[in-house]
Amino acid sequence: MISFSGVWVKVSHVPPTVSAFYRVLFGGMFLLTAACWKKEITWKGWHRLLLGFLCGFLLSLDLFFWHKSIHYIGPGLATILGNFQVFLLAGLGVLFMGEKVSAKFFFAILTAILGLFLVVGIQWDQLGSQYKTGVYLGLATAVAYAAYLLTLRKLQSGQTETITFYGMMLVSFATAFFLGIEAVYSGDSFIIPDTQSWAALLLLGLMSQAIGWILISNALPRTRASFAGLILLLQPSLAFVWDILLFQRETSPVNWIGVIMAITAIYLGMVKKSEDI
């Protein structure tokens, strides 16, 4: 579901920040309906509220950078770059949580850097300024994505029910608030121009923000890190495939080798020994 996010953004005829705004606004509305149905709309304290707003702020940065990068370099590469958050999370674990770094992790970093080098192009100086901007935005996405995942895990920790909607509903509306401010500041129009855009944005909100992320957010506190990392790597893998199949992205054999190396490195960075999980 979330691998199609870039596709819906690409085919919607609205500015990047506006597509991100409607993603979380429509997603929040779907989640509000589900939360009301499960009678979850109750006061849960200021701590939960403030944590939800912090999570929303970080997600707004994530989506702001990522949606803009899609318009520069396509949904496939933008998604791959955003998933380099795995190394940032591991680095935070070493600095603040006392986790040890294995030789395999250093190998994964080197592999990821080489893979990224092959994906974005060997002759960096000859690439256009817009392409370079898209790469920088994709890497900024990874930073915001890592911070968002850490905060979301904290927000959803301690829940006892199988599926809860309140947390992601709060995050979605908080994110819409921050993205709405950015869109107004940038002078972007909130008008949804045509039927295709309405359909794309509704699907973006329903599949990516509501259903996709409610499944992820509820699974994060319960799932082994290695298994969750393996499944989530389907997102950048499939996103790159959709970019080629639907938008005829030009991809050389060298680019394919880089994609495979980058995704493999991300997986190696996520996997821990079974006794450490």
* CA-to-CA dists, residue 260 to 19, 59, 88, angstroms: 29, 27, 20
For residue 226, the model assigns a pLDDT of 45
In a domain, 66, yes or no: yes
* CA-to-CA dists, residue 221 to 36, 151, 162, 224, 247, angstroms: 23, 12, 11, 9, 36
Look at the chain and report how many structural domains it folds into: 1
In a domain, 251, yes or no: no
Is the CB of residue 151 less than 8 Å from the CB of residue 58?
yes
In a domain, 276, yes or no: no
Residues ≥6 apart with Cβ < 8 Å to 32:
41, 169, 173
For residue 141, the model assigns a pLDDT of 92
For residue 223, the model assigns a pLDDT of 65
In a domain, 123, yes or no: no
For residue 31, the model assigns a pLDDT of 93
* Best CA proximity match to 195, nearest among 186, 207, 203: 203
Rg (CA), the chain: 18
What global pTM score does this model have? Answer: 0.77
Question: Residue 139 is part of which domain span?
Answer: 2-104+129-246
In a domain, 266, yes or no: no
For residue 21, the model assigns a pLDDT of 95
Question: Alpha-carbon distance 216 to 234, whole Å?
Answer: 13
In a domain, 213, yes or no: yes
Q: Per residue of the chain (277 residues), what is the pLDDT tens digit?
A: 888 988 898 899 998 889 999 999 999 999 999 989 888 777 777 787 888 899 999 999 998 998 888 888 887 778 788 877 777 777 776 776 666 667 777 777 778 777 766 776 656 566 678 888 888 898 999 899 888 888 887 777 655 555 678 888 989 999 999 999 999 998 999 999 999 999 999 999 999 889 998 888 777 767 655 456 556 667 777 787 788 888 877 777 877 887 788 778 777 766 654 444 4
Question: Alpha-carbon distance 258 to 253, whole Å?
Answer: 9
In a domain, 117, yes or no: no
Q: How far is CA 257 from the centre of its chain?
A: 23
Which structure tokens are listed for 239? 């996103």
Which structure tokens are listed for 234? 């389907």
Reduce the DSSP state of residue 273 to 3 states and report it. coil
In a domain, 82, yes or no: yes
Tell me the one-letter amino acid at 38: K
For residue 275, the model assigns a pLDDT of 42
Buried b / exposed e along 24-46 (16+ C-beta atoms within 10 A): bbbbbbbbbebbeeeebeeeeee
